[in-house]
Amino acid sequence: MAVEVFMPKAGMDMKEGKIIKWLVNVGDEVKEGDGVLEIETDKVTMEVEAPADGTLLCKYFEDGTTVPVVTIIGYIGEKGEKVPDGPATAGAEETKAPESTSEATKKPEKNDNSYDVAVIGGGPAGYVAAIRAAQLGGKVVIFEKDVVGGTCLNRGCIPTKTYIKTAETIHGIKEAHLRGVHVDTNSLSVNMEEIYNYKNTVVKKLTSGVGALLKSNGVEIVNGTATIADKNTVECNGKKYTSQNIILCGGSVAGRIPLEGIEGKKVLDSTDILELKEIPAKLGVIGGGVIGCEIATAFNAFGSEVTIVELADNLVSMFDKEVSTSIEKSMKKAGVKVLTGKNIKKIENSDEKPCIVLESGEKFEFDNVLLSIGRKADIEFVGSLKDTLKLERGKIVVDEYCKTNIDNIYACGDITTKSTLAHSAFKMGEVAANNAMGHTEKCNLNNVPGCLYTMPEAASVGLTEEAAKKDHDIAVGKFPFGANGRALSSGESEGFVKVIIDKKYGEILGVHIVGAVATEMIMEAKAAMDAELTVYEISEMIHPHPTYTEAFVEACTDALGRCIHLPKK
């Protein structure tokens, strides 16, 4: 199928562009990314790149012509493929080529409720998509039923990391005597209401910042529950909004399981527990994934007696096995009780205290129970498209351009079958907006890092050792933070850096870190993998001393069998 070449909209104020020179002729073959023509805007001269491999089938305008933005100026496809006789604006019927600049610049005005892009959901994917579409000159509206920022800012990433930092502060005070700083830790007290209020201050600052960014970019914000009326119409608060393109970013809600007693009022989900203003004496956590382990870390430091019950044989089983084992060991060392490989039969809610009953018959009573068994897509907005939109296991299927099976509707983030991480959602939102505004861009979700904010932290990118062994002849390098000068001097010597490489080429297949700054360090590994640097090149790079990042290069050299700061094997 032939692919359109557009006059791009390269800025909010750009209305038209002048074709300076076509760089290829009709019939010439081009590769995706090759320069096809040069254009001039009021601000810059730039090349328009080929959106796909193929042959230039036609060009509707000659050198020197001024053309409105988002007008189809040519097609690329297979030789002999039929294309329209004349140009069109993206999404419109074929039109006659303009005869003059003044005619070319005429563009129908949109009414008050007509937009280029409508975004449903104001979380990481949604607000990024809205801002990016506005940066490209689109008239944009965003619908949010709660507070902009989504789960990440309001009920997930930011609140939990605020709690984790408080936990780290408590830990630091208790360890201060090791550095000659003596504090009476017997008088140490934790005020949960003040912790809660501080968390809300951080959240409000960030969410208000997102709101300000949206407004500064001219995005219209509509508060309310949006529903799709048809492929070009969104209904909210009894009012209809039409849009050429719709980007779906509904996010997710806490998952539930069909378990007897799960509806007890002391059984909380990951949203509920962030509203507690009292520290539970005993906290049970069902689920040893990322959310469960992070909440357990925080409340253990606050003073709760925490027990994690996990069906799998390991905590955070999505990580490399050595990472999982190390995190479980650290949790136990900190005083968290860990029960892995345990199946829960029911929850008893008598006497106002929930009791977890295992299939084995064992019972554990708590003041509160946290249910953290994952999240599910929030797609209540689909409305009239519920039987049209392609879904898999309750999530929306999108292609590499973040497009659904409906040509003008895109979807991003937790509601899709792609990655459910906030940083993936940011990227998907940006790509969807670019494509909705006439560009052709693929969303590369290779080497997306996974992060765990416990004490110590953990982070991974690429293949686990188990997965790498299946298709590669591998070597593994490992360096402990106990041999790293910065980690030792900081009193944070727990953990390691593990690097998995392909022996034949020295390609880095995976990097796994457990340590105090693992979530910051992982970016160097990702950047190296994206740039296709080999372990040989990394091993030659000079890292500043003393830094935690030296452990990464040491692990790389260990994979080559020549680490200087480890005993000879």
Cβ burial 553-568 (10 Å sphere, 16+ → b, else e)? bbbbbbbbeebeebee
Say how far apart CA 309 and CA 328 lie, in whole Å. Answer: 12
Ramachandran class of 534: left when φ > 0, alpha when ψ lies in -120 to 50, beta otherwise: beta
Overall residue count recorded for the chain in this entry: 569
Tell me the C-alpha distance between 36 and 24, whole Å.
6
Q: Prior bond to 567 cis, omega within 30? A: no
Query: What is the rounded distance in angstroms from the CA atom of residue 402 to the CA atom of residue 73?
Result: 24
**Is the Cα torsion angle 483, 487, 490, 494 positive or negative in sign?**
negative
307: phi then psi, degrees, rounded to nearest 5: -125, 125
CA 334/CA 1 separation, integer angstroms = 60
Residue partners of 184: CB distance under 8 A and separation at least 6? none
Cβ neighbours of residue 540 closer than 8 Å, sequence gap 6 or more: none
Catalytic residue selected from 423, 472, 545, 565: 545
Are 160 and 274 in contact by the 8 Å Cβ rule? The answer is yes
- Is 545 an annotated catalytic residue? yes
C-beta atoms surrounding 502 within 10 Å? 18
Read off the DSSP letter of residue 351.
G
Q: For residue 478, what are its two tokens?
A: 């490992």
**What one-character-per-residue DSSP string does 498-540 give?**
EEEEETTT-BEEEEEEEETTHHHHHHHHHHHHHTT-BHHHHHT
Kindly report the backbone phi and psi dihedral angles of residue 244, in degrees, each rounded to the nearest multiple of 5, phi listed first. -65, -35
- Rounded to whole angstroms, the Cα distance separating 177 from 4 reads 68
Residues 182, 118: Cα–Cα separation, whole Å: 58
Other Cβ atoms less than 10 A from the Cβ of 54: the count is: 19
List the catalytic residues: 545
